[in-house]
Chain A
Amino acid sequence: MDIKQENRAGKPRRKILKAVLLHIVMVILSFLMITPFLWMVSTSLKNMNEMYAIPPIWIPREVMWSNYRYMFESAPWLLYFFNTVKVTGLVVVGQLVVCSMAAFAFSRLRFPGRDALFFMLLGTMMIPYHVTMIPTFQILRRLGWLDTHQALIVPALSAAFGVFLLRQFFMTLPRELEQAAMIDGCGYPRIFLNVILPNAKPALTTLAIFTFMGTWNDFLGPLIYLNSDHLKTLTLGLATFQGVYTNQWNYMMAGALIVSLPILIVYMFAQRYFVQGIVMSGLKE
């Protein structure tokens, strides 16, 4: 009782002090995290001579907005953008469906061979892609999928990472949730759709963010499986600024910034679901 009283008395000043301290710490830490990003912004606005200046210059004397114009004019970016949106969108949606179904079975149902199959899935993540790239390419060739978008979409749907992530989250949901539903006569599909999925929004959001980011930024996949210009994705477009001997950093950074902007927007938007998660699980108590 007297703890509460004391709190009430000292609350405003101590709370404000605490908040200010917290914000100072957060600002410093945030600054540590965004420095390279700021450097990208700065480099993207420099000319060649300032770009390589020693010691480095943070604010260019002459701000080269023209780098962005040059970058925009260098490739059919709108086409690349739509290609990337198509591939990324389908992979995110497809992966959420496929992985959440599998994760549901691996975490909430019992069936023979369950753990062995799950470990097999995990196992495929432990082999570096450098040795599986050629056989994967052979499969896609046999399927006639080389130089098509499905080569980037379909194999990405069965992602072991996604199953593992969702399984771990589904496991934290209390058993009572589905027991109550079972008593109400719900089958497994209903439990999956009406009980598990609504309670796993933070996890599904997390997977969506990662999948979005991974697919959007994927470079090696499109590079190996695509040849035609009209199918290319944004990351391949960026590579035009990379020569064998020289890199045009200022254009590359300008491009990289524009390309990563959608990920940032999606991430900030997706955070809303983190808060919703609290509300939902709070209600279930």
Chain B
Amino acid sequence: MVRKETAWGYFFIAPMMIGFAVFMLYPFVYSFYLSLTSSDGIVAPKFIGFDNYAKLLKDTTFLRSLRVTLYFTLVTVPVGAALSLLAAMLLNIKMRFVTWYRTAFFLPVITSMVAIATVWKWLYNTDYGLINSIFAALGLYEPPWLASAKWALPSIMIMSIWKGIGFNMVIFLAGLQGISPSLYESAKIDGAGAFRRFTNITFPLLRHTTVFVVIMSIISSFQVFDQVYVMTQGGPAKSTSVVVYYIYQNAFQFFQQGYASAMAYVLFAIIFIVTLLQTRLAKNKDVDG
């Protein structure tokens, strides 16, 4: 019996693993090799051991970009996931026009980043932007947003969360479809309130979906690039220079492919460890095995 299951297991993963071996494993291994060389992306790479990694520990620009990225991830992942779940639950209510609302929430996901960036720059504008005119009308503090080294990163975070809600919302929505409505009905009869229904039914049953959303968000937040590339190019004064932006610069502008690869592997190690911890945590909470 077991042997049959094993054989079928390999059979089912075979197409995936062949593609994986040809198109992903080699680039993955090769870029690790490059991280041990002085490759500039052109001349045959020279092996230099762990020199790139040693250099990284002293590279203040890299260390700062790591801090910026960490800060970005710590804020956007939990806030983004929570808001997406909330949006999914709202949009799972049976109501008229729900298809239209769902589409509205999904629009930021498909709208081009360039278009989004131009609009948000305008929203953030300190002279005539929409946000600060509202803040002014309410007598609130008007942040300098993208114009300041302190506020530029939060500005990008807010925009990223906004853009990401629709993506995760779709996944949560799909997850919610797997929960039988009869569970809620019997809970209602037992007198459970909305909050209790959420903590006792929705959240536990969405466990696997949440793990997916959180891990994917972690992976993509650590690799945030497009927003920075389009909106600030890492400025002002490097306050939004995230790791992947620095990797991009090193790989394609500074002729430092090897050094860029070393950074990529440091980033990889961090994401991998965080993901591992996250799955362990999720498993511990797992009651029914």
Chain A residues at the B interface, C-beta cutoff of 8 Å: 3, 19, 22-23, 25-26, 29-37, 39-40, 43, 54-56, 97-99, 101-102, 104-106, 109-112, 114, 117, 120-128, 130-136, 139, 154-155, 157-158, 160-161, 163-165, 168-169, 171-173, 187-189, 192, 202-203, 205-206, 209-210, 213, 217, 249, 252-253, 256, 260, 263-264, 267-268, 271, 274-275, 277-278, 281-282, 285
- A125 contact set on B, CB distance < 8 A: 219
Report yes or no: A126 in contact with B219, Cβ–Cβ below 8 A: yes
Given A109-B9, A111-B6: A260 in contact with B112 (beta carbons within 8 A): yes
B interface, by DSSP: helix, strand, loop or mixed?
Answer: helix
Question: Chain A contacts of B17 at CB under 8 A?
Answer: 102, 117, 158
B13–A172 CB distance below 8 A:
no
Which chain B residues lie closer than 8 Å to A105 at the CB level?
8-13
Does B89 sit at the interface, judged by CB under 8 A?
A: no
From B17, B24, B219, B225, residue with most partner A Cβ within 10 Å? B24
**CB-based contact B16/A102 at 8 Å:** yes
List 18 A–B pairs whose Cβ atoms lie within 8 Å, in order of A's numbering.
A31-B104, A36-B107, A40-B111, A43-B115, A128-B264, A131-B31, A135-B31, A139-B23, A154-B19, A155-B19, A164-B215, A172-B207, A172-B208, A213-B109, A249-B118, A256-B112, A256-B115, A267-B103
Q: What 1/0 mask marks residues of chain B from 161 to 203 whose CB sits below 8 Å from any chain A CB?
A: 0100111001101110110111000000001000000000000
Say whether A139 contacts B26, CB under 8 Å: yes
Per CB-CB distance, the 10 closest pairs between chain A and chain B, nearest first, are A158-B19, A111-B9, A30-B104, A105-B12, A277-B177, A102-B16, A132-B27, A135-B27, A202-B174, A36-B119
For the complex, give the distance between the alpha carbons of A128 and B211 in Å: 21
Chain B residues with Cβ below 8 Å from A36 are: 107-108, 111, 115-116, 119-120
A131:B118 contact, CB within 8 angstroms? no
> A169 touching B209 by the CB < 8 A rule?
yes
**B10 partner residues in chain A, CB cutoff 8 A:** 105, 111
Flag whether B271 is at the interface (Cβ < 8 A): yes
Q: Decide: A263 and B110 in contact? CB cutoff 8 A.
A: yes
Output the least CB separation between A23 and chain B (Å). 7
Point out the residues of chain A lying under 8 angstroms from B108, CB to CB.
Answer: 33, 36-37
- The stretch among B93-101, B136-144, B149-157 that forms the contact with chain A is B93-101
Contact A131:B216 (CB < 8 A) given known A260-B111, A278-B181? no
Q: Are A131 and B261 in contact (CB under 8 A)?
A: yes
User: Residue on B with the closest CB to A204?
Assistant: B174
* Interface residue? B41 (CB, 8 A): yes
Query: Does any Cβ of A come within 8 Å of B75's Cβ?
Result: no
Q: In the complex, how many angstroms separate the beta carbon of B20 from the nearest chain A beta carbon?
A: 5
Could you tell me which B residues sit within 8 Å of A by CB distance?
2, 5-6, 8-13, 15-20, 22-28, 30-31, 34, 41, 87, 90, 93, 95-97, 99-112, 114-116, 118-120, 122-123, 128, 162, 165-167, 170-171, 173-175, 177-178, 180-182, 191, 205, 207-209, 211-212, 215-216, 219, 222-223, 225, 244, 247-248, 251-252, 257, 260-261, 264-265, 267-268, 271-272, 275
The reply to whether B103 and A169 form a contact with Cβ atoms under 8 Å apart is no
Could you tell me the distance between the alpha carbons of A171 and B268 in the complex, rounded to whole angstroms? 26
- Cβ–Cβ contact A128 & B247, under 8 A: yes
- The interface centre, meaning the residue of A124, A128, A189 with most chain B CB atoms within 10 A of its CB, is A128
Closest to A111 in B: B9
The reply to whether B6 and A30 contact each other, CB–CB distance below 8 Å, is no
Chain A, Cβ-Cβ closest to B100: A30
B26, B27, B212, B271: the one within 8 Å of A164 (CB): B212
Residues of the A chain whose Cβ atoms lie less than 8 Å from the Cβ of B170: 206, 209-210
- Given A37-B107, A39-B115 in contact, is the A19-B268 Cβ separation under 8 Å? no
How many whole Å from A88's CB to the nearest CB in chain B? 13
Given A40-B115, A123-B268, A268-B103, 8 additional A-B pairs, CB 8 A = A26-B95, A29-B105, A105-B8, A109-B5, A124-B24, A128-B223, A172-B209, A217-B110
**Which one of A161, A256, A268, A274 has the greatest number of beta carbons of chain B within 10 Å?**
A274
Distance (whole angstroms) from the CB of B54 to the closest CB of chain A: 19
Q: Is the CB–CB distance between A109 and B177 below 8 Å?
A: no
